Amino acid sequence: MKSTRRRWLMMAWVSAAWGLALTGCSTKKILNYRIDSEYHVTDPQFARTMNSLLGPSIISGNKIQTLRNGDEIFPAMLDAIRGAKSTITFETYIYWKGDTGKTFTDALSERAKSGVRVHVLIDWLGSAKIERGFFKQMKEAGVDVRTYHPFYFYDINSFQQIDHRTHRKILVTDGRVGFTGGVGIADEWTGHAQGPGHWRDNHYRIEGPAVAQLQAVFLDNWMQTTGQVLNGADYFPELPPAGEEFAQVFKSSAQGGSESMQLMFLLSLAAAEKTVRIESAYFVPDALTKRELIAARRRGVEVEIIVPGSKIDEKIVRRASRATWGPMLKEGVRIYEYQPTMFHCKLMIVDGEWVSLGSSNFDNRSFRLNDEANLNVLNGPFAREQVRMFEQDKEKAHEINYTAWLKRPLREKILEHTSSLLAWEL
């Protein structure tokens, strides 16, 4: 989720900073990956490729529970926080004022007062709407709470980092139970997507060895921000098998080769044989991503994508997205706009076997600017559960075909084209 006013300010600050530093605005090289379709997602070579090229390893023994919307997500997260005995690590982009923010602040503060070591990392830009009293309350309770890449006008490093945000959503309690997905800490996620004021989203509860990978992703930004290395059995306990899923927690960072997130998606698309199903809150594919989606269609793969409809928090993103649809629709990619409320899900399912879910959208910001974290799962039953959920979402969405896309009003075409020129920053 994003703030238009903040983003425009951010863009102006970045340009001014580079001008003052006399460094100019460098053009970031876009890698033009070319990936042959040589194996499918259930071929052992696919897992070996993911392990070797991207890492960490896809490991067995995990139990992953799907949580839909705030009515399921927030109680599960709060139960884990309130039940923590030794440590809590929590990283998020959105943390806003309101009842939800207050409830989480109270729960984290109570655990810290009880002697639990609580570490909270909140993105500076994403927390623009936070109640400042939340920070005060947590700090007074003993929570070690920090902001990621705070901005200071007097610090040139702030200008250089302001466009690099943590978009990750990570909660780990006692090193044993983890959560990740798309949800932010705000009242917009409450309820069960029953109306415009209650957003549609997914989050996931994890047990098993993959929790240690999720904890390591949290430490990636925590160490960068604080210099503290959290270690030992309270953070990384022995984790026996908890379920049947093979899983991998995969991260990307603008400071560590962020194109790796896009590479993961492209490898997945290239391995598709039958179906690709995508849900994305902000779907603004670049030329490379469009090429791979079209290549999948030309191999006979059924490609379906669900995106937000008119009820979206960022109109400019929807316009920029729609500007890209023509070539994909012409090739038979099917695109649906979700109707009841803001659609914030981030999910890809390939051939009913391989799933990638988490914080990353299909846009340049997720691929090249943000710090992101996705949970990748190789398990047929889990994937088919996500397919059923996808089909339920599709029932509440309106399909946009190629003819309808061509016939949209001239004013919309102009606005969409203009918005697409800002695609890098969206």
Which active-site residues does the annotation give? 167, 169, 174, 344, 346, 351
For residues 148 and 123, the answer to whether their CB atoms sit within 8 Å is yes
- CA–centroid distance for 296 within its chain: 23
Question: What letter represents residue 133's amino acid?
Answer: G
Helix (H) or strand (E) holding 372, with range, is strand 372-378
Q: For residue 153, give Cα distances in angstroms to 13, 18, 39, 109, 127.
A: 9, 13, 51, 31, 18
Alpha helices in 150-255 (DSSP H): 156-161, 210-226
Candidates 203, 285, 216; CA nearest to 59 is 216
Q: Which of 182, 202, 362, 180 is nearest to 269 (CA)?
A: 362
The DSSP secondary-structure symbol of 234 reads: T
Beta bridge partners of 348: 278, 356
Give the three-class secondary structure for 213.
helix
CB 375 within 8 A of CB 231: no
The residue to which tokens 């899900």 are assigned = 345
| Residue 9 structure tokens | 């300010």
SS3 call for 256: coil
Residue 316: count other Cβ atoms within 10 Å of its Cβ. Answer: 22
Q: How far, in Å, CA of 166 to CA of 62, rounded?
A: 26
What φ, ψ does residue 344 adopt, rounded to 5°?
-115, 15
Query: Is 286 exposed, middle or buried, given 0-12, 13-18 or 19+ CB atoms closer than 10 A?
Result: middle
Rounded distance between C-alpha atoms, residue 242 and residue 23, angstroms: 52
Q: Which of 282, 168, 293, 141 is nearest to 225 (CA)?
A: 168
Cα–Cα distances in Å, from 363 out to 149, 314, 329, 421?
Answer: 21, 14, 18, 13
